[in-house]
Structure 1
Amino acid sequence: MAETPFSPEQLQRLTEISKLPPEEQKKILPDFLKTLSPEQIKYLQEQQGQTAKQGSSCPFCLIVQKKLDAVVLYEDYMVMAVLDIRPATKGHTVLFPKQHIADFSSLQGEQSNKLFSLAHTVTGVLENLEGCEGTNLFVANGTLAGQTVDHVLLHVIPRYKDDGVSLTWQGKPASQESLQQLQQQIAPQLSSLEQKASEPQPSTPPNTKTSSSDLLEENTDEPFADF
């Protein structure tokens, strides 16, 4: 899957700008956008456009846009981590991509990597809480799986003795034949998709009609944190 077209230095700058209030972002954006290529500007436009389509109703997009209060533990150009307002246990943390993405399978490669890298870090920190004896990572993907909001969420739930949280199920024996049949259905698809994901992606042809001023004019009402 395609990665973002920015250098590490540019990503760092995006992170810094995304944390500023909208008023400050508008002051800084013009100079920053002048340093970007047409391909990079087009990428930002697409990211903002996808978020804006759902942002008015999605609570997590509203958190990204600073229109809904949240206790933020971490934020960068791509992901956020906030404390759950109805925690299963003390320290229950919710991680999510800033871009509005409804289902887990739609995450881009870098988004998925960033999300789980952050989960790894958050887990290590939460395990230092007094009494914490472990953590659960939980994703509800789809209505039958318990998903109630159309935005990918990764929950990190600290576990304490007698905390009353249960994520277990009663397994049923499976025959070796049924397992092998599933292997034949699933394994080739996994190999094909993983091979495709590792292949270099063609670059987007430069859009010579796109300029930094165009981007500013089209997005003056939305904070840069949407990207």
Structure 2
Amino acid sequence: MTNRTIASAGLAALTAAALAVAPSAAAAVDVAADGSTCIQRLDDGSQTWIGSATTEFNALAEELGELFADHPGRTTGIAACTHYDGLMVFLPPRADDEGQDAFDEELSRIVRSHPEYPVYTTEVAAASVVLVPLATEIVATLHDEGVVGAAPDVYTGGLHVTVDSLTVGMPESLRSRIDEVVQRSAGMALPLRLSVQEGPYEAAVATVARGSAVDVLAALRLLFAAVASFAGGGG
């Protein structure tokens, strides 16, 4: 994946090819602010956010969101930078057609209208028009095998699949089955992130491990209830 800044001067910073034919526009790209610190993550890999968004930031995000909703075949998703000082947009490989040019122009126009916030781009594997129905199909096809949820992973252009913690051999045993569905339906391999759905027991243990005294007391009650339910055959 590559990160770029969309230059306020226009589309030249959107693609490497454009930079090659319009070198004067390269000066509009701040290479020291290439978006590499936009997304900051916790130890578990999830993104973290610090602070709050301004009204102007929200206006930019809303405009981009409307554009992306209108072009699901050319977009994947949007994420606010960790400190709400910019946005990262996730795009599939660029198509070579007139519609793509029109999309690029509108994206650049929106960015130019909010010069105080940089917008970075990351190229990812697939567009939302591919990922959304694929996530639905994976749940429908593999629910009985332990898949309880699936959604696009905008950070990679792949899928985030949630599996049942009680399924034997989870989650590794399902990976090949999920890959089969993806290959059959999308005709390509996609990045796949698996996570295990926490039941009441797992959630309680996790809360005890990291929570405050009040959290721990509530978690212990949940844990005792889960154990009692299991012992009584209530699931």
Global fold match (TM > 0.5): no
Work out which structure has the larger RCO, using CA pairs closer than 8 Å and 6 or more positions apart in sequence. Answer: 1
TM-score normalised over the length of structure 2: 0.31
Which entry has the higher C-alpha Rg, 1 or 2? 2
